[in-house]
């Protein structure tokens, strides 16, 4: 029975690596998949992992009908035994509906990978629709870690090392970017609430203690 499966987790927890592993395992058994992505850190039409692995993919653009694309691909003689969709949080809700239709009408497994919430802890529309429609939701077991050593549960956007909580929902970036650039960092809930990134924690640790002042 074909399924729509949503693999979710924070940034830096191995989602793209797992997507590439599933592609490898299935292709090794003679199956042929179609890989889709949206706004990958490596550029248009790429599915990349932070481990350095990368493969070609079909870029899902705004307004693209994924179901129609796949039907056209198969009508022209292309083969599709399954689909892998990375960065699925960036898809429009209607495109998630199209993935569900591929499962139901074409009988193909669809493996979607994405983060659930944005830097403001709000659900991405694509992720919300996947939660509503997926046959299965799998939380990745490779735990990303906050700078304090606790399990990271939230994604933070940073500029100059400082956490920001306003701005466009989608700004493509990555972890471990130079401090002056827009970047991202995974934090535990406590430090996300306090807006305390690794950079601000280091700055606080390096600040000299202020001596108490005594009158007179």
Three-state SS at 164:
strand
* Residue 87 falls in the annotated catalytic set: yes
List the beta strands (DSSP E) in 24-161.
33-37, 46-48, 54-56, 58-59, 82-85, 109-114, 136-139, 154-159
CB 183 within 8 A of CB 177: yes
Out of 59, 87, 143, 185, the active site residue is: 87
Three-state SS at 213:
coil
Three-state SS at 5:
strand
125-133 and 93-106 helices, crossing angle to 10°: 30
Q: How many H helices and E strands in the chain?
A: 6, 11
Q: Tell me the H-state helices in 76-177.
A: 93-106, 125-133
Q: Which residue has the tokens 């994924």?
A: 66
Q: Which residues are catalytic?
A: 87
């Amino acid at each position: 029975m074909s399924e729509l499966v949503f693999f979710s987790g924070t940034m830096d927890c191995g989602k793209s690596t797992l997507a590439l592993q599933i592609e490898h395992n299935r292709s090794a058994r003679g199956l042929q998949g179609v890989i889709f992505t949206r706004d990958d850190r490596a550029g248009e039409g790429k599915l990349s992992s932070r481990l350095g692995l990368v493969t070609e993919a079909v870029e899902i653009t705004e307004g693209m009908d994924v179901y129609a694309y796949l039907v056209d691909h198969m009508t022209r003689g292309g083969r599709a035994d399954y689909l892998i969709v990375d960065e699925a949080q960036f898809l429009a809700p209607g495109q998630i509906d199209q993935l569900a239709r591929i499962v139901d009408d074409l009988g193909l497994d669809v493996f979607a990978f994405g983060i659930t919430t944005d830097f403001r802890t709000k659900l991405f529309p694509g992720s919300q629709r996947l939660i509503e429609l997926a046959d299965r939701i799998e939380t990745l077991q490779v735990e990303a870690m906050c700078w304090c050593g606790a399990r990271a549960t939230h994604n933070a956007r940073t500029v100059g090392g400082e956490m920001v909580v306003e701005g466009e929902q989608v700004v493509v970036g990555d972890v471990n970017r130079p401090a002056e650039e827009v970047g991202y960092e995974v934090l535990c809930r406590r430090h996300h609430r306090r807006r305390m990134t690794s950079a601000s924690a280091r700055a606080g640790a390096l600040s000299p203690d202020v001596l108490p002042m005594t009158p007179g």
